[in-house]
Structure 1
Amino acid sequence: MRFLLSVLGSLAILMGALWVGQGLGLIHWPASSFMVDQRIWAVWGILLAAAGVLLNWWARRR
Protein backbone atom coordinates (compact mmCIF):
# COMPACT_ATOMS: atom_id res chain seq x y z
CA MET A 1 0.00 0.00 0.00
CA ARG A 2 2.83 2.35 0.87
CA PHE A 3 4.51 1.74 -2.49
CA LEU A 4 1.25 2.29 -4.39
CA LEU A 5 0.60 5.60 -2.61
CA SER A 6 4.15 6.73 -3.37
CA VAL A 7 3.77 5.87 -7.06
CA LEU A 8 0.40 7.62 -7.29
CA GLY A 9 1.78 10.65 -5.49
CA SER A 10 4.79 10.84 -7.80
CA LEU A 11 2.60 10.51 -10.89
CA ALA A 12 0.30 13.25 -9.60
CA ILE A 13 3.30 15.55 -9.09
CA LEU A 14 4.59 14.89 -12.61
CA MET A 15 1.18 15.34 -14.21
CA GLY A 16 0.58 18.50 -12.20
CA ALA A 17 3.90 19.90 -13.39
CA LEU A 18 2.94 19.14 -16.99
CA TRP A 19 -0.40 20.89 -16.53
CA VAL A 20 1.30 23.94 -15.01
CA GLY A 21 3.75 24.07 -17.90
CA GLN A 22 0.99 23.80 -20.48
CA GLY A 23 -1.27 26.26 -18.69
CA LEU A 24 1.48 28.86 -18.54
CA GLY A 25 2.42 28.26 -22.17
CA LEU A 26 5.88 26.90 -21.33
CA ILE A 27 5.20 23.43 -22.73
CA HIS A 28 3.59 23.12 -26.15
CA TRP A 29 3.22 19.35 -26.18
CA PRO A 30 1.10 18.19 -27.83
CA ALA A 31 0.91 21.23 -30.06
CA SER A 32 -2.84 20.91 -30.57
CA SER A 33 -3.61 20.64 -26.83
CA PHE A 34 -6.57 22.64 -25.58
CA MET A 35 -4.64 23.28 -22.35
CA VAL A 36 -1.85 25.41 -23.85
CA ASP A 37 -1.94 29.03 -22.61
CA GLN A 38 -5.05 28.43 -20.50
CA ARG A 39 -4.23 29.73 -16.99
CA ILE A 40 -6.91 27.63 -15.30
CA TRP A 41 -4.88 24.51 -16.13
CA ALA A 42 -1.91 25.97 -14.26
CA VAL A 43 -4.14 26.31 -11.20
CA TRP A 44 -5.41 22.74 -11.54
CA GLY A 45 -1.83 21.57 -12.01
CA ILE A 46 -0.69 23.24 -8.79
CA LEU A 47 -3.57 21.62 -6.92
CA LEU A 48 -2.81 18.19 -8.40
CA ALA A 49 0.90 18.49 -7.60
CA ALA A 50 0.05 19.53 -4.03
CA ALA A 51 -2.20 16.48 -3.69
CA GLY A 52 0.71 14.35 -4.93
CA VAL A 53 3.02 15.83 -2.32
CA LEU A 54 0.45 15.05 0.37
CA LEU A 55 0.10 11.49 -0.89
CA ASN A 56 3.85 10.98 -0.78
CA TRP A 57 4.06 12.48 2.69
CA TRP A 58 1.23 10.27 3.93
CA ALA A 59 2.81 7.16 2.38
CA ARG A 60 6.11 7.83 4.16
CA ARG A 61 4.38 8.28 7.51
CA ARG A 62 2.79 4.81 7.30
Structure 2
Amino acid sequence: MRTALAIVGVVLVLVGGLWVLQGLGYVGGSFMSGARQWFWIGLGVAAVGLVLAVLGVKGRRG
Protein backbone atom coordinates (compact mmCIF):
# COMPACT_ATOMS: atom_id res chain seq x y z
CA MET A 1 0.00 0.00 0.00
CA ARG A 2 2.82 2.40 0.82
CA THR A 3 4.43 1.77 -2.56
CA ALA A 4 1.17 2.55 -4.37
CA LEU A 5 0.78 5.73 -2.33
CA ALA A 6 4.31 6.82 -3.24
CA ILE A 7 3.73 6.08 -6.94
CA VAL A 8 0.46 8.02 -7.00
CA GLY A 9 2.20 10.88 -5.22
CA VAL A 10 5.03 11.02 -7.75
CA VAL A 11 2.57 10.93 -10.66
CA LEU A 12 0.60 13.80 -9.11
CA VAL A 13 3.79 15.82 -8.64
CA LEU A 14 4.72 15.30 -12.31
CA VAL A 15 1.22 16.13 -13.60
CA GLY A 16 1.00 19.14 -11.31
CA GLY A 17 4.39 20.33 -12.50
CA LEU A 18 3.29 20.05 -16.12
CA TRP A 19 0.14 22.04 -15.35
CA VAL A 20 2.21 24.72 -13.61
CA LEU A 21 4.43 25.03 -16.67
CA GLN A 22 1.41 25.17 -18.97
CA GLY A 23 -0.26 27.78 -16.79
CA LEU A 24 2.85 29.92 -16.97
CA GLY A 25 2.96 29.53 -20.75
CA TYR A 26 6.21 27.53 -20.96
CA VAL A 27 4.47 24.50 -22.51
CA GLY A 28 2.21 25.25 -25.46
CA GLY A 29 -0.30 23.39 -27.54
CA SER A 30 -3.17 23.20 -25.09
CA PHE A 31 -6.14 25.23 -23.92
CA MET A 32 -4.32 25.33 -20.58
CA SER A 33 -1.31 27.17 -22.02
CA GLY A 34 -1.00 30.66 -20.61
CA ALA A 35 -4.11 30.31 -18.40
CA ARG A 36 -3.10 31.35 -14.88
CA GLN A 37 -5.74 29.21 -13.14
CA TRP A 38 -3.82 26.11 -14.30
CA PHE A 39 -0.75 27.41 -12.52
CA TRP A 40 -2.66 27.42 -9.23
CA ILE A 41 -4.42 24.12 -9.89
CA GLY A 42 -1.10 22.51 -10.80
CA LEU A 43 0.54 23.92 -7.71
CA GLY A 44 -2.17 22.41 -5.54
CA VAL A 45 -2.02 19.03 -7.27
CA ALA A 46 1.78 18.96 -6.96
CA ALA A 47 1.56 19.83 -3.26
CA VAL A 48 -0.94 17.03 -2.60
CA GLY A 49 1.27 14.65 -4.59
CA LEU A 50 4.31 15.64 -2.57
CA VAL A 51 2.48 14.93 0.69
CA LEU A 52 1.30 11.54 -0.59
CA ALA A 53 4.76 10.62 -1.84
CA VAL A 54 6.35 11.53 1.49
CA LEU A 55 3.72 9.55 3.39
CA GLY A 56 4.25 6.60 1.07
CA VAL A 57 8.01 6.65 1.53
CA LYS A 58 8.04 7.25 5.28
CA GLY A 59 5.07 5.08 6.09
CA ARG A 60 3.58 4.86 9.54
CA ARG A 61 5.92 4.32 12.41
CA GLY A 62 4.58 3.42 15.74
The amino acid across from 1:8 in the alignment is V
Identity of aligned residues (%): 39
The answer to whether the 8 Å contact 2:22/2:32 transfers is yes
1:46 aligns with 2:6: no
CA RMSD of aligned residues (A): 0.7
The answer to whether the 8 Å contact 2:3/2:57 transfers is no
Total equivalences in the alignment: 59
Q: Provide structure 1 residue ranges, at least 5 long, that are not aligned to the other structure.
A: none
The 4+ residue runs of structure 1 with deviation greater than 6 A are none
TM-score, normalising length from structure 1?
0.90
Q: Provide structure 2 residue ranges, at least 5 long, that are not aligned to the other structure.
A: none
